[in-house]
A and B are shown apart, each in its own frame.
Chain A
Amino acid sequence: MIVGERKPLQEIIKAVEQYEKILVLGCGECVTVCMAGGDKEAKETALAISVSRKRAGKPVQVKSHTIERQCEFEYLEASRKLIEEADVVVSLACGVGVQTMNMHYENMITLPGINTTFMGLPVQQGVWVENCLGCGNCVLEETMGICPIARCSKSMLNGPCGGSQDGKCEVSKETECGWHLIVERLMKFDKLSALEEVKPPKDWSTSHSGGPRKMIREDVKL
């Protein structure tokens, strides 16, 4: 899933200072699950904006609404009336949702209300970890299903660096060393010799390094 974190309320309030009719737009997918931008958070954010403006003596009209999936045009279309009534939209969807809104409603400004952080998963209640960078050329089959690109702070391909200690990454004691996990899992399956091969430098052109990516599939085009 895509994981995000709501921006500090003060930052959101400041960003909508000049507007009178504000719509806070949640998304029903990933950000609902990671409790950053679902219906509950949209309502809370709208309330916070409204209270703060009232206190400042500049009351505004703030509504909140949640769209099932902000990253597809069809879903956005269903709420056209509500969206067009507003002066500005604060989207609590990930960066993709915010941009889908701006593409679809060209005459309206949609501002981001969350910081999109990473692709990952919740490992326990309230704890999410990053585990894929969308590099465009997956190597998980070589690393026992643990991503060396996302889970190693240096995206190394040939084994752990010299900073790995007690299973932790040198970057922080809170961060697991991805390579420690890979080596342990290789040992568990008696496959450590798989690491002997000197892997060539990664071809980063399939990642964002190659420029913004686009995928075209003729077989599914209409």
Chain B
Amino acid sequence: MSTLSISGLNVHFSTEAGSLHALKDVTFDVPERRIVGIVGESGCGKSTLINAILGLLSDNGEVRSGQILFEGDQDLARLSRGQMQDLRGPRIATVFQDPMGALNPVLSVGRQMINIQYRSPQSRAAKAARAVEMLKLVRIPDAESALGRYPHQFSGGMKQRIAIAMALMMEPALLIADEPTTALDATLEVTTIELLKDLQATIGCSVMFISHHLGVIAELCDDVVVMYAGEVVERGTVRDVFRAPAHPYTRRLLECDPARQSRRTRVLPTIPGEIPDLRQRPRGCVFAPRCLERHAGCDTPQVEHALAGDHRARCNLAPARSPAAVPP
């Protein structure tokens, strides 16, 4: 059973200039105890995807169709506000991108860590002890006194580790991490990634890890989902996708300056052109205007083709290029 199984998810935003189709037919799984990386350039809908899962889409956003099955039985797209709120925190925990702003500036760290355990019947002292235990786990020095301190008294890396401690304190089934290391410097990034991997193994949760950084994905993740303009263009195990990328977009990403990638680039390699206007999606392939391998099939709707194993790519050319292709 997968911890999270998203199928045919469509999210629209209503804007003054018309309806914006931000996520189109998004389908992928986060299998139990696995780390799934989501990669894609800015504006491709990674944060929208997270917000849709968490039920925190802004007021002008709407899940038009699709299923977000959590632990096989609950469809997050159909849960009531209250039910959703009960899942957020204890079952699905999130670490957001911005470590500087992720903690409330006027409440002490201890207060915030105790507050998020508000559902627990335990005493305040027990909750504080639990918080200290978690802070020790993420290697915050002097964890007892850290409870009484305020966010501005910690460094960026420490704040990010505190945010991770808060997220894992509830022992969630699913941890969502939205570019948790982008704001950190390279050495901190390595330690944070290693910490995350250790903790994931200890707690045994599944992880959805969003990153701009192909090197980090390759190192940390088991599976990878490549997104472009609100669509999943390719997904599979990191091994399959990185060794034999089947979608031209993935290939471009991997080809772009491989030397820089091995040196842990902080930004996704840039490829010429821009994401199309999501208000007017083309009938054919969304990537076609920037694609170097254009062909006649680009103008027809693209379907997701199954390749070897769980490897899938949304390009009509994919089966022909891949020797192990299975007909759809």
A-B complex is real: no
Instruction: Give B residues with C-beta under 8 Å from A.
Output: none
Which residue numbers of A lie inside 8 Å of B, CB to CB?
Answer: none
